[in-house]
Amino acid sequence: MSPVIPIQVEHGCQDAPVLRERGQREVFCGLTGIIWLHRKMQDAFFLVVGSRTCAHLIQSAAGVMIFAEPRFATAILDERDLAGLADAQDELDRVVHRLLERRPDIRLLFLVGSCPSEVIKLDLSRAAARLSQRHAPQVRVLSYSGSGIETSFTQGEDACLAALVPTLPDLPTLPTPPASATGQDAAPELLIVGALADVVEDQFRRQFEALGLTQVRFFPPRHTGALPPVGPRTRFLLAQPFLGDTARALEARGARHIPAPFPLGAEGSAAWLTAGAAALGLSAERTAPLIAPWRQRAERALAVHRQRLAGQRIFFFPDSQLEIPLARFLSRELGLQLVEVGTPYLHRGHLAEELALLPSGTQLSEGQDVERQLDRCRAARPDLVVCGLGLANPLEAEGFTTKWSIELVFTPIHGFDQAADLAALFTRPLDRRQRLAA
């Protein structure tokens, strides 16, 4: 078993009751994840099989790209496709052929399902297998669902990475040394799982190297020709809390999950790095002196934001699945009071270390009944509300100060060097409200 870093706290929310709601939801769909995934995987292309509404959504989320050709597009399902008057598989083959002729740089093509393609039962997995065979070895074609019918918008990344896991090469098996000699498996390797901004990935890589760890890989990689190998020697750290399907797919390949808080803020980043180092055989006593300067620098940068945020009351609507790690960071490092922490799905296994660090008595909710949650928010009158775009403007009109949860996914927020930037995302709405009031 991988070593686990114990986190000593007097109280926590490991066994706290959770309000489970199953009503109307206000969320983006998983197609939104394409916006950060296409920037990360520089030779991959995302072809959404959907409606004009899907195309407008993605273009609106991505912004206007004048000076660069994006690596995503939409194959429009029109009335003939939806009515069954045209063979959608033949139409898709023609679109893919034209795309690959125009963009010979594509090495990995994702066919991304949407609500319309799922409603008409278009079998994209069969299409991906057929097209992959036709265009091999130059191009590999995979499929996944970005539909928002049952999921939150960040689960688009989860579905994408889970579809990619079966294509990862096997990590060679090495002889296992006697347990009495090391107490460790043979030469474990560390895999960081979750799309991170390139600057954040580079920072983490340098920090792991400073700890003496060179066998560290990142998934997804920047180029699909550098897919990391995976196998029983793989130990993986999740960088994002919404990767449940990806984690299960990796475990099915023999990899082992390393329990850890997520690398948000000084405390979370230190615990995350320590857990990764421990899984590869480094003790906390050895890593703590190396991590301490990074943590202290982040804490100094957070001090000015703590002065502004301490004592403010915050309410989280469920949207991104980042809510619980963010709540831990805001309450412990910046002194905010948690009114309610809502999340679309609470994975107790992946969030156990985070729940242990939340203040005892924190109101947790899973799923959403938006009208009931709005009633609770209005009754509580928090100082700051974290929610999706669909709720932000109406709440602002009612006098609430809001923070768009989607901005927390588009912005680099992981690691020590981004801790103050993360805090500033919560400071700015309050400062804006104060200036407007003046």
Q: Residue 61: CA atoms inside 13 Å, Cβ hemisphere, count? A: 26
Q: Is 388 exposed, middle or buried (0-12, 13-18, 19+ CB in 10 A)?
A: buried
Residues paired with 19 in a beta bridge = 365
13 a known binding residue?
no
CA distance 228 to 113: 26
Residue type, 17: P
CA distance 432 to 402: 10
Nearest to 324 by CA among 403, 241, 409: 241
Are residues 54 and 48 in contact, defined by beta-carbon separation less than 8 angstroms?
yes
Structure-token match 């230190």, residue found: 270
115 a known binding residue?
yes
User: CA angle, 60 as apex, 56 and 66 as ends, to 5°?
Assistant: 105
SS3 140: strand
29 a known binding residue?
yes
Peptide bond into 116 cis (omega under 30): no
Are residues 339 and 314 in contact, defined by beta-carbon separation less than 8 angstroms?
yes
Are residues 427 and 333 in contact, defined by beta-carbon separation less than 8 angstroms?
no
User: CA angle, 10 as apex, 303 and 336 as ends, to 5°?
Assistant: 35
CA distance 305 to 166: 43
CA distance 324 to 357: 10
Peptide bond into 412 cis (omega under 30): no
Are residues 185 and 176 in contact, defined by beta-carbon separation less than 8 angstroms?
yes
SS3 68: coil
Structure-token match 């098996």, residue found: 173
Which tokens hold the place of 198?
């390139």
CA distance 266 to 294: 8
Are residues 145 and 113 in contact, defined by beta-carbon separation less than 8 angstroms?
yes
Which tokens hold the place of 311?
């004592």
CA distance 216 to 214: 6
Are residues 366 and 19 in contact, defined by beta-carbon separation less than 8 angstroms?
yes
- Residues tagged in the binding site annotation: 29, 54, 115
- Residues tagged in the binding site annotation for [4Fe-4S] cluster: 29, 54, 115
